[in-house]
Chain A
């Protein structure tokens, strides 16, 4: 069997497994709670690995690897930043989200905010839905584009065929099995990702002569590649490090990650989730980093006019036998697809659950609600495929601020208000609005490049707005609750 055929067989097998998981999940999906939250029955392994796989898209396996290839060890500042984001989510938010969601019966993140803080004429719910829909709508379309490009590079399909096949599979399993299918497929994909990002770095580091030899050879290419500062100093270094570490702030506001914690079966499952997810994060981030470092020595030509973000797929094809290369390439597809399906379901739930059911009061019975959810997934999924097929550049405008926008909008109200009674409904509304608006304005004005990464000021101002407005409106909320 030729190498290309072998790789295509592995990728086809991988797709069949995804559809099989979707079918198995669909058989167990009967109620609204099943469709949107897997009946609050997730075990620790699925909660841990599916939440982390959903959070890391092609950005880790392609983007982060490429960044370390270009900048060296200093680019790995993103690892402690992201791991701090994991820790805040897992140790602070996850237990609170699970308990609050079970206590109030909340099924989505807007649902949880409204049931925790209260609402006024659906403003908090509508604000949250808008932030989610605007951020994730474009994000899903952009990830569909990435799916098409990955299928094109890996299996040799045309870009359009790649989008249709990849998109159809994602839509079908998400539509059939809802949250359970997305969680189970994300778990499977997360395991493929961690396998690839442990095995591949070990193989490439061995090929460079081992860990010590790799660092010495890199230092011979450029001494700045093996220092934590990368040759930067003063404000340039501070801005670089704060920008990378600051990415971690975004985790606390991503609905496609946070809903996994809401679906965990018990507090004990969350406790196990914490340790599993932290270990997964360490292996994946440092695996990607070490791969980027060794790749700089093994494929120096990518630095001269090539695309360093293609290091992982190119190195897999060049170095490995076709069977192992097929698994590595499936890992790249896994990273992208696990994020798309999670975001597609969250965007769809914002429409079907929060808008149709809660605001307009339609499709509220169990079967109708699940049907409405499935139709919304289908419509949104096809819309994303249609946008991706056109390769419209405007979708990337949304992607630029999706992570920061949701992180700054939802992170501060949740962190300040879940474990305390500090936050009022007006404070939550102010926090969501401020976080999102500051992100968009900061990015558009160009301050992200000239001053600091937009998430940091947006997060801080959202926290200030949440606290300030809550302090000013405590009397009002107390009166409303009486």
Chain B
């Protein structure tokens, strides 16, 4: 087995997609309250 996997790889593979979904949902709900 090789050494540990770089933290950046985990962020790239897991945190980025989760963040995109969270931001998209946040924009939708924020717009729902104030945007209309």
Taking Cβ atoms with an 8 Å cutoff, the residues of A that contact B are: 73, 76, 79-80, 83, 91, 212, 215-217, 219-220, 223, 226-228, 268, 271-272, 274-275, 278-279, 281-282, 286, 289-290
Contacts and interface: CB of A to CB of B under 8 A. Distances in A.
Contact of B27 (A220, A228, A275, A286): A275
B5 A226 contact: yes
A279 B21 contact: yes
A286 to B, nearest CB: 5
Interface in B2-36: 2-3, 5-6, 8-9, 12-13, 16-17, 20-21, 24-25, 27-28, 31-32, 35-36
B20 A215 contact: no
B20 A226 contact: no
A275 B6 CA distance: 31
Interface of B: 1-3, 5-6, 8-9, 12-13, 16-17, 20-21, 24-25, 27-28, 31-32, 35-36
9 contacts: A73-B9, A212-B5, A216-B1, A219-B2, A226-B5, A271-B28, A275-B24, A282-B20, A282-B21
Contact of B5 (A216, A268, A271, A289): A216
A249 B33 CA distance: 31
A79 B36 CA distance: 31
A218 to B, nearest CB: 9
Contacts, number: 60
A271 B36 CA distance: 11
A275 to B, nearest CB: 4
B24 A73 contact: no
B24 A227 contact: no
Contact of A274 (B1, B21, B27, B36): B27
A275 B20 CA distance: 10
B24 A219 contact: no
A275 B36 CA distance: 16
A78 to B, nearest CB: 12
Given A73-B12, A271-B28, A220 B20 contact: no
A198 to B, nearest CB: 12
B22 to A, nearest CB: 10
A227 B28 contact: no
Task: Identify the 10 closest CB pairs spanning chains A and B, nearest first.
Answer: A219-B2, A278-B24, A275-B28, A282-B17, A215-B5, A275-B24, A286-B17, A220-B2, A282-B20, A228-B12
- Which residue, B12, B21, B24, B32, has most C-beta atoms of chain A within 10 A? B24
A79 B20 CA distance: 11
A282 B25 CA distance: 13
B4 to A, nearest CB: 9
B31 A73 contact: no
Contacts of B16: 79-80
A227 B6 CA distance: 7
Contacts of A73: 9, 12-13
